[in-house]
Amino acid sequence: MTTTVFSIRSVDGNLELAICPATIELRLSSKAAKDFDAACEAQKSAAWLPIWRQIKSALVSTAQFMSHKFADKLKSIPLEAVTEVTCTEGRLQVQTAEGNQFKGNVKVEIGSYKLEYQFDAPGLFPAAAVSAFAKRFAEIKPLYDAYLAQLRQDLP
Protein backbone atom coordinates (compact mmCIF):
# COMPACT_ATOMS: atom_id res chain seq x y z
CA MET A 1 0.00 0.00 0.00
CA THR A 2 1.33 3.41 -0.93
CA THR A 3 0.66 6.61 0.97
CA THR A 4 -0.60 9.32 -1.36
CA VAL A 5 0.14 12.92 -0.42
CA PHE A 6 -1.84 14.43 -3.29
CA SER A 7 -3.21 13.14 -6.58
CA ILE A 8 -5.18 14.12 -9.66
CA ARG A 9 -7.41 12.00 -11.88
CA SER A 10 -7.71 12.17 -15.63
CA VAL A 11 -10.86 13.55 -17.21
CA ASP A 12 -12.14 9.98 -17.86
CA GLY A 13 -11.31 8.95 -14.27
CA ASN A 14 -9.11 6.01 -15.26
CA LEU A 15 -5.68 7.56 -14.78
CA GLU A 16 -4.21 8.95 -11.56
CA LEU A 17 -0.99 10.88 -11.08
CA ALA A 18 0.03 10.84 -7.43
CA ILE A 19 2.64 12.59 -5.31
CA CYS A 20 3.83 10.02 -2.77
CA PRO A 21 6.32 10.57 0.06
CA ALA A 22 9.33 9.68 -2.11
CA THR A 23 7.98 9.40 -5.67
CA ILE A 24 5.53 10.54 -8.29
CA GLU A 25 3.53 7.58 -9.55
CA LEU A 26 1.23 6.90 -12.45
CA ARG A 27 -1.67 4.54 -11.72
CA LEU A 28 -4.74 3.23 -13.46
CA SER A 29 -8.07 2.85 -11.73
CA SER A 30 -9.16 -0.54 -10.46
CA LYS A 31 -12.11 -0.32 -12.88
CA ALA A 32 -9.74 -0.05 -15.86
CA ALA A 33 -7.73 -2.98 -14.50
CA LYS A 34 -10.89 -5.08 -14.01
CA ASP A 35 -12.15 -4.21 -17.51
CA PHE A 36 -8.79 -5.24 -18.95
CA ASP A 37 -8.85 -8.49 -16.99
CA ALA A 38 -12.40 -9.22 -18.19
CA ALA A 39 -11.33 -8.54 -21.78
CA CYS A 40 -8.48 -11.03 -21.38
CA GLU A 41 -10.93 -13.62 -20.02
CA ALA A 42 -13.32 -13.03 -22.91
CA GLN A 43 -10.58 -13.81 -25.42
CA LYS A 44 -9.78 -17.15 -23.80
CA SER A 45 -10.48 -20.06 -26.13
CA ALA A 46 -9.76 -23.78 -26.24
CA ALA A 47 -6.58 -23.05 -28.17
CA TRP A 48 -5.41 -20.72 -25.40
CA LEU A 49 -6.09 -23.07 -22.47
CA PRO A 50 -2.69 -24.81 -22.34
CA ILE A 51 -0.88 -21.48 -22.04
CA TRP A 52 -3.63 -19.45 -20.40
CA ARG A 53 -1.99 -19.42 -16.96
CA GLN A 54 1.20 -17.93 -18.39
CA ILE A 55 -0.73 -15.31 -20.38
CA LYS A 56 -2.89 -14.49 -17.37
CA SER A 57 0.07 -14.07 -15.04
CA ALA A 58 1.78 -11.79 -17.56
CA LEU A 59 -1.32 -9.65 -18.12
CA VAL A 60 -3.12 -9.69 -14.78
CA SER A 61 -4.19 -6.07 -14.97
CA THR A 62 -3.78 -2.91 -16.96
CA ALA A 63 -1.94 -1.41 -14.01
CA GLN A 64 0.70 -4.14 -14.23
CA PHE A 65 0.98 -3.61 -17.97
CA MET A 66 1.52 0.08 -17.32
CA SER A 67 4.16 -0.55 -14.69
CA HIS A 68 6.12 -2.73 -17.10
CA LYS A 69 5.79 -0.21 -19.92
CA PHE A 70 6.87 2.73 -17.76
CA ALA A 71 8.87 1.00 -15.02
CA ASP A 72 11.96 3.13 -15.53
CA LYS A 73 10.19 6.29 -16.66
CA LEU A 74 6.98 7.36 -15.06
CA LYS A 75 5.80 4.64 -12.72
CA SER A 76 8.07 5.79 -9.95
CA ILE A 77 10.03 8.99 -10.48
CA PRO A 78 12.11 9.79 -7.36
CA LEU A 79 10.71 12.97 -5.87
CA GLU A 80 14.19 14.41 -5.40
CA ALA A 81 14.78 14.15 -9.19
CA VAL A 82 11.74 16.27 -10.06
CA THR A 83 12.63 19.92 -10.50
CA GLU A 84 9.24 21.29 -11.52
CA VAL A 85 5.66 20.36 -12.35
CA THR A 86 4.08 22.66 -14.93
CA CYS A 87 1.23 22.88 -17.37
CA THR A 88 2.03 24.40 -20.77
CA GLU A 89 -0.77 24.78 -23.31
CA GLY A 90 -2.85 22.27 -21.35
CA ARG A 91 -0.04 19.69 -21.30
CA LEU A 92 1.06 18.45 -17.89
CA GLN A 93 4.85 18.24 -17.57
CA VAL A 94 6.93 16.59 -14.86
CA GLN A 95 10.42 18.04 -15.31
CA THR A 96 13.70 16.45 -14.22
CA ALA A 97 17.28 17.27 -15.23
CA GLU A 98 16.66 15.05 -18.29
CA GLY A 99 13.55 17.03 -19.33
CA ASN A 100 9.84 16.22 -19.27
CA GLN A 101 9.20 12.70 -17.98
CA PHE A 102 5.46 12.82 -18.54
CA LYS A 103 5.41 11.85 -22.20
CA GLY A 104 4.87 8.84 -24.39
CA ASN A 105 1.77 6.79 -25.00
CA VAL A 106 0.22 3.42 -24.40
CA LYS A 107 -2.36 1.56 -26.43
CA VAL A 108 -3.97 -1.66 -25.24
CA GLU A 109 -6.45 -3.50 -27.47
CA ILE A 110 -7.96 -6.85 -26.53
CA GLY A 111 -11.12 -7.81 -28.38
CA SER A 112 -13.52 -4.90 -28.05
CA TYR A 113 -11.63 -3.43 -25.07
CA LYS A 114 -9.48 -0.45 -25.95
CA LEU A 115 -7.42 1.83 -23.75
CA GLU A 116 -5.22 4.53 -25.17
CA TYR A 117 -3.38 7.41 -23.56
CA GLN A 118 -0.99 9.98 -24.91
CA PHE A 119 0.49 11.31 -21.70
CA ASP A 120 1.56 14.70 -23.03
CA ALA A 121 -1.79 15.35 -24.74
CA PRO A 122 -3.53 18.59 -23.76
CA GLY A 123 -6.59 18.22 -21.55
CA LEU A 124 -5.76 14.77 -20.17
CA PHE A 125 -6.31 16.19 -16.66
CA PRO A 126 -8.69 19.04 -15.73
CA ALA A 127 -6.86 22.41 -15.76
CA ALA A 128 -7.83 23.29 -12.18
CA ALA A 129 -6.59 19.89 -10.95
CA VAL A 130 -3.26 20.33 -12.75
CA SER A 131 -2.83 23.74 -11.16
CA ALA A 132 -3.56 22.27 -7.71
CA PHE A 133 -1.13 19.40 -8.35
CA ALA A 134 1.67 21.78 -9.38
CA LYS A 135 0.98 23.99 -6.33
CA ARG A 136 1.03 21.01 -3.96
CA PHE A 137 4.28 19.76 -5.53
CA ALA A 138 5.84 23.21 -4.97
CA GLU A 139 4.82 22.98 -1.28
CA ILE A 140 6.01 19.40 -0.72
CA LYS A 141 9.30 19.41 -2.63
CA PRO A 142 11.23 21.80 -0.30
CA LEU A 143 10.02 19.83 2.74
CA TYR A 144 11.15 16.56 1.18
CA ASP A 145 14.53 18.02 0.17
CA ALA A 146 15.04 19.33 3.72
CA TYR A 147 14.13 15.90 5.10
CA LEU A 148 16.71 14.20 2.84
CA ALA A 149 19.36 16.75 3.81
CA GLN A 150 18.68 16.05 7.51
CA LEU A 151 18.94 12.30 6.93
CA ARG A 152 22.29 12.76 5.20
CA GLN A 153 23.57 14.87 8.12
CA ASP A 154 22.49 12.22 10.61
CA LEU A 155 24.45 9.47 8.86
CA PRO A 156 27.67 8.49 10.65
pLDDT digits (tens, 9 = 90+) for 40-72: 777 766 666 666 666 656 555 555 555 555 444
- pTM beyond 0.85: no
Q: Which amino acid is at 13?
A: G
Residues of the chain with pLDDT under 50: 1, 70-73
Predicted pLDDT of residue 8: 92
Please state at what angle helix 30-42 crosses helix 62-69, rounded to 10 degrees.
Answer: 100
Q: Residue 131 has what DSSP assignment?
A: H
- How many alpha carbons fall within 13 Å on the CB side of residue 113? 17
d(CA 104, CA 73): 10
